[in-house]
A and B are shown apart, each in its own frame.
Chain A
């Protein structure tokens, strides 16, 4: 999961395994959540999003789960590939007229061949 500090949480998996990256969000009023992937030297790239009226949403090889009771978000990557190696971070939007996102610190995923 994510935490405050100078060092990113890290997750190391073998190629072909499933990966689960966790995020604890802060605002119980947040109604929209996004997962981003950031490769070294590049800008954050949108992966998948979910609204607060949903518990689960699936994309291609990725699934996002939302547990509003404990304010927890997770990203599951199926059959992880070396190209999935990157920093992943979640973002939350508190909705209404608030168009600013609050970003987590990120988790470094390393996929070993």
Chain B
């Protein structure tokens, strides 16, 4: 039981390049989330999904796209990376009820030059 995994762990991009971050979970959780964490800013929600085939915008969605084609996977895409997207990205999952805990992956550290 791996819980929540994220790939890759580290990545360096040049401005304008694209990439996809993968979040995978084996807990059969309904809800999945993508956050970014920057110094002094705390965790900010980018996009989230309340079930397979659904996605919704969070607090800071601009410049990102997501897809939830399978229940266990939640993909975060950057179509044209910008230096402002340099951050640590965390995926989280939640079983389904509003009082359930969110469980986090280990993070992806992305640098955009």
Contact = CB atoms under 8 A, between A and B. Distances in A.
Given A41-B107, A100-B45, 12 more contacts: A5-B40, A36-B104, A43-B90, A43-B104, A43-B106, A91-B102, A93-B98, A97-B98, A98-B98, A101-B102, A103-B42, A105-B42
Contacts, number: 56
A5 B40 CA distance: 6
B77 interface: no
A42 B101 contact: no
Contacts of B69: none
B94 to A, nearest CB: 6
B99 interface: yes
Given A42-B107, A43-B104, A93-B99, A6 B39 contact: yes
Contacts of A101: 102
Interface residues of B, number: 24
Contact of B48 (A45, A95, A100, A103): A100
Looking at chain A's contact residues, the main secondary structure is: loop
Interface string A1-21: 000011110000000000000
Interface residues of A, number: 30
B58 interface: yes
Interface of B: 4, 31, 33, 39-43, 45, 48, 50, 58, 90, 94, 97-99, 101-107
A89 B42 contact: yes
A42 B106 contact: yes
A32 B40 contact: no
A41 B88 CA distance: 9
